[in-house]
Amino acid sequence: MKPMVHKHQSKKTIMVGKTILSIVLCFSFIVLLPSCKRKKLEEVVEVPLPSAEEKITIGHPDDVKADDGQFALTKLPYEYNALAPNIDILTMEVHYSKHYLTYTNNLNKLVAADANLTDLSIEDILKKLDINNTDLRNNAGGYYNHSLFWESMAPKAGGQPKDTLATIIDRDFGSFDVFKNQFTDAAEKQFGSGWAWLIVDKTGKLVVTSTPNQDNPLMPKQTISGTPILNLDVWEHAYYLDYQYKRKKYIENFFKIINWKKVSERYQEATTPKT
């Protein structure tokens, strides 16, 4: 009998044990489930939400104003999104309202501090530049180069020039395609930051060249000097948001938005003797 009683008691103990285990499991499940939910919620809350200041807002180009000074911003002759998809809205906005504005404000400070520069045009400042004056070189260059660049582009533009300039491109390069290849090459092979240029040299001939940083062909001691009529910004800030490392694609698309009407006007101006 003793073993029987023992067996019965032991069976009862196992059953009680199972019941306790079930209750513990159920209880843990009930307690743990909401705590899991809580943890998930906390994780969601932990993700930082953008503050009002960080929200990306695209302003209007006309609302961007340089600080008072000798030089004003060249008005952007189209909206920030007007050159899309060849140049995206955010690149245009940052380029115009941040980079270009900074060069302009810096230039105005430098000009205000140097009586020799008062009332000089930007072209004259560049032509008379002391190339060792790095601050003036970078900011006067940055101001001039970008001012020219904005007007070198237009929506629904591109193609090829149709007037005198077309004849002159054929005369000096052989064909438009030869010019296009040379310009593309200059822009693509400019190592690091810089610009590609189409200029009129002192003999009246069209020449393609490139410059590093914010240098340009008006400055002294350039490899090739002349009057710029077209330029392309190949600094990464000009294309990296949209094109990343694909500079060649950016150059290719630039040809779809070149404002040849404006470039032709500049050609006429550069080759008309001043009276």
150 vs 173 by CB, closer to Mn ion: 150
Phi, psi of 233 (to 5 degrees): -75, 120
> Is the Cβ–Cβ distance between 102 and 140 less than 8 Å?
no
Phi, psi of 60 (to 5 degrees): -115, 135
201 vs 249 by CB, closer to Mn ion: 249
> Is the Cβ–Cβ distance between 204 and 271 less than 8 Å?
yes
Measured distance CA(224)–CA(178) in Å, rounded: 19
For the CB of residue 156, give the shortest distance to Mn ion in the complex, in Å: 23
For the CB of residue 216, give the shortest distance to Mn ion in the complex, in Å: 12
Query: Contact between 215 and Mn ion (CB under 5 A)?
Result: no
Report CA torsion sign: 105, 110, 111, 117.
negative
Residue nearest Mn ion, Cβ-based: 233
For the CB of residue 64, give the shortest distance to Mn ion in the complex, in Å: 15
173 vs 235 by CB, closer to Mn ion: 235
Using DSSP bridges, classify how beta strands 227-233 and 206-212 pair: parallel, antiparallel or unpaired. Answer: unpaired
Stretch that binds Mn ion, among 37-45, 107-115, 197-205, 238-246 (CB under 5 A): 238-246
For the CB of residue 214, give the shortest distance to Mn ion in the complex, in Å: 8
Stretch that binds Mn ion, among 118-126, 189-197, 217-225, 228-236 (CB under 5 A): 228-236
For the CB of residue 238, give the shortest distance to Mn ion in the complex, in Å: 5
Return the bridge partners of 208, or none: 198
Return the bridge partners of 200, or none: 206, 227
93 vs 233 by CB, closer to Mn ion: 233
For the CB of residue 212, give the shortest distance to Mn ion in the complex, in Å: 13
Total site size for Mn ion, rule CB under 5 A:
3
Residue-wise DSSP of 99-110: IIHHHHHHHHHH
For residue 144, give both structure tokens: 């001039």
148 vs 206 by CB, closer to Mn ion: 148
C-alpha angle with apex 104: 100 to 107, nearest 5 degrees? 140
Stretch that binds Mn ion, among 61-69, 119-127, 208-216, 236-244 (CB under 5 A): 236-244
179 vs 239 by CB, closer to Mn ion: 239
Print the binding letters for residues 174-213 with Mn ion: x by CB under 5 A, - otherwise.
----------------------------------------
For the CB of residue 219, give the shortest distance to Mn ion in the complex, in Å: 17
Measured distance CA(248)–CA(254) in Å, rounded: 10
| 3-state DSSP assignment of residue 82 | coil
Which residues fall within 8 angstroms of residue 23, CB to CB, at 6 or more apart? none
For the CB of residue 234, give the shortest distance to Mn ion in the complex, in Å: 9
| List 103, 233, 243, 251, residue binding Mn ion (CB under 5 A) | 233
Measured distance CA(107)–CA(63) in Å, rounded: 20
- Residues found near Mn ion in the complex (CB under 5 A): 233, 235, 238
